[in-house]
Structure 1
Amino acid sequence: MSGHTGDYDSDAERTFAALPPERGRGFARTWWGQAWLKALEDTALDSGQLKAGRRLARAGAVGAVTVRPGRVTAVVQDRGRTTHRADVLLEELTGDQWDRFVDMAGARAGHVAALLDREMPPHLVEDAETAGIDLLPGLGDLEPECGCDAWDHCGHTAALCYQMARLLDEDPFVLLLMRGRGERALLDALQSRTGPPSDGSPRPEGVDAAEAYAAGGILPPLPTPPALPDEPGVPPSLDTEAAPAPGIDPAALEFLAARTAARAHRMLAEALRDGHGQHAPEAEPTVHQDAVRLAAGEPDRTVADRLADGSGRGREGLAVAVRAWRHGGGAALSVLDEEWPVEGETLARARAALETAWDEDERPRFRASGNRWTALGTAGQLRLGRDGRWWPYRKEGDRWVPAGPAAQDPATALATAERSAADESDSGRPKG
């Protein structure tokens, strides 16, 4: 685990060292960590207590976290340096539910392999739900107990939940322990389960080829997959002896072939990364987006001018669009081009994120226009994407330009924008 380790007192209890203060990041990277936080945030009646919990968690006020079946515990120090024992309870699975889970997970080698890689793929959770087993908590499932005698989630139990999300990011076995089974006991049960499922249904003969390959324990051994080439392949050369057909630009064709090879290489590299199957496939770019994608491949001047004209952006506009594309593809390009009204629940979430990203005495003042928040007195601007992420922008002349990739936390995005503006300013100063 990054920055912390779980120490086994027994297989039924794990204790994690206190996490250091960490500002400018979200509390959950994985989808299952985010589901844990959604269960908290949908249940808590007082958003002020959630805000206090995030502040305490970021400040490193949560002590060592002990996880055991049905309960997670830590001592939390509030801003007045008073300490309180905080507990969060989650109902354990029954013995029958664990039997069904072991049968279900053992029937698919990919489930076990994912858990061993500290991943919780959506299809594992979906298969468990089909078997009548809720692994992730839902509305009202996280019950608080705190020494401050609050009857609902307080800042102390909220802080514990936010730190717990960081632990879950690293190891989903922590959630399974809360549901009643430690890692060693669960893996032993999976290894020893060789008979028919507990419902008496016969096991299917054989396994899916992809699962067998992932398991790796078959004879004869499968060959090692070929390594990803360091560079894209060289596209075929055009016939240079015959004159091109009317309207055909050989230079443009050669550029398109080279960019296609580069894109195929990138897609293959992404497909081979761990966790690739958990992400939805990217939408195909529109014609205008594809023009920007191609321009990001640094074509020669003739092709670049055709792309600038065909996209309707002109040279300067296309150069800015290329910056956006390199920071985040089609999503970043949409944020560059679109200004849309932020309303209702989306607006409430955006304001809450802006309020909690900084302490009150550090929070910048913003002027809002649609999905764009300009930080007054700075060269930074935040743009909210439709997916809830914040994109950093900086002022360049009379134009706002992309300054970096998106962030879940607005403070991180604004720091990126301000740092980019400072770097640009420094690069323009005379030397010596």
Structure 2
Amino acid sequence: MTPRPSPGGRPALPRPDDRRRTFPQLAPRDARDGRFAATWWGNAWVDALEDTALDPARLARGQAYARRGHVDAITVTPGRVVAYVHGTRPRPYRSEIRLRTLGDDDWERFLDKAAARPDHIAALLDKDVPHALEAVTGLLPAPGDLIPDCSCPDDGFPCKHAAALCYQAARLLDEDPFVLFLMRGRGEQEILAALTRRNAARSAAEAGAAAPALATVLARSVLAPTAEDTVPRPLPPLPAPLPAPAQPGRPPVHPPDPDAPDPLALDLLASEAAARAHAFLITGHDPVAALTPWQDAVRLAAAHPGSGLTASTRALYRDLAYALDRTPTELARAVAAWRQGGLAGLTVLEEPWDPPAGPFDRARPALLAADHPAFRPWRNRLSTRSLQLRYGRDGLWYGYESDADREDWWPRGTPDTDPVGALTDLLGR
């Protein structure tokens, strides 16, 4: 097929099929502990098959086949995982695992949930699946959801060839959870594009607020001469200055052009200029001067709305993070803290401390009196299984949230001088 020309006259590359991925044959692997998956979702995939297997002996032989690398290249399409598996005969068998794809309503719930929290987006980009997202639509298969099939004469459920394919598929899920999403019906680029659209819609809604009316003076009321004019008339007073905006403006969208600068770079430069100009207007000083390189990288990423959603912004997160020996997830978490409370919020994220007696000691009784659950204290932090309040050196309480018992805390909510107020805001989101 000849590539069709692009608008600029250059041939465009053929568009890959986002709903079909083929993975090369995986190398043999010695799973000494008998487990083929390292992630919770990879193990859940294996458990779904093992919990309904009728013959443990066939599973054991399937594990042995997988460990020895008997599974050829694996092709994943919505609802189906297919590969040729080598057995005792010269010709390999065609094995497959089928599962139900999610409906449009399920995907809408999933995308809405993912787009609502930057930590969920960051986790997906870092090849992690938050438990909260899985719970929305039941992404992972339950016992009985995986249907094995094979061209071999064995009618076991599953046969050893299909079992081997299932174990190797778990390794693919470990490396890239978007393989799981493809199995359930949506490709990676399709999901990222949907998240980008949701983020753009939210940004447009925020930018669409009406600007305050500009006070004016008619020129003719000042300059038009009259018969009585013998001396210049005094000029009317200038209108009162407009109030400072609550936040910096956002730059216009620059469409990509092969002969123009990178649109992301232009966007970042404009956002940077707007943020610093706004700070000068409000405070009279440059907020960047005293920042460390890490703090400045966090500030830069936080100034770009929706960072991390597209390929270009993912590259931004990756490059900023790796340049400072951090991970993209660490950068995304720090960005969430910066958006929550600026430099003070980032300090609360990264620096536990021992507050003096006073407001911190009174927080737990206040929370209990407001019928909130008991919080465990540690230094400047009060925690339950999934909620946390951190007391900052600025006297504010900062809300954090995690999936239950994971110790994966992400900044959430608006800081408050009252711990009950901070927790109420956190619970209301």
Q: Tell me which structure has the larger Cα radius of gyration.
A: 2
Aligning the two structures, in what range does the TM-score lie when normalised by the shorter sequence? 0.3 to 0.5
> What TM-score results when the alignment is normalised by the length of structure 1?
0.44
TM-score by length of 2: 0.45
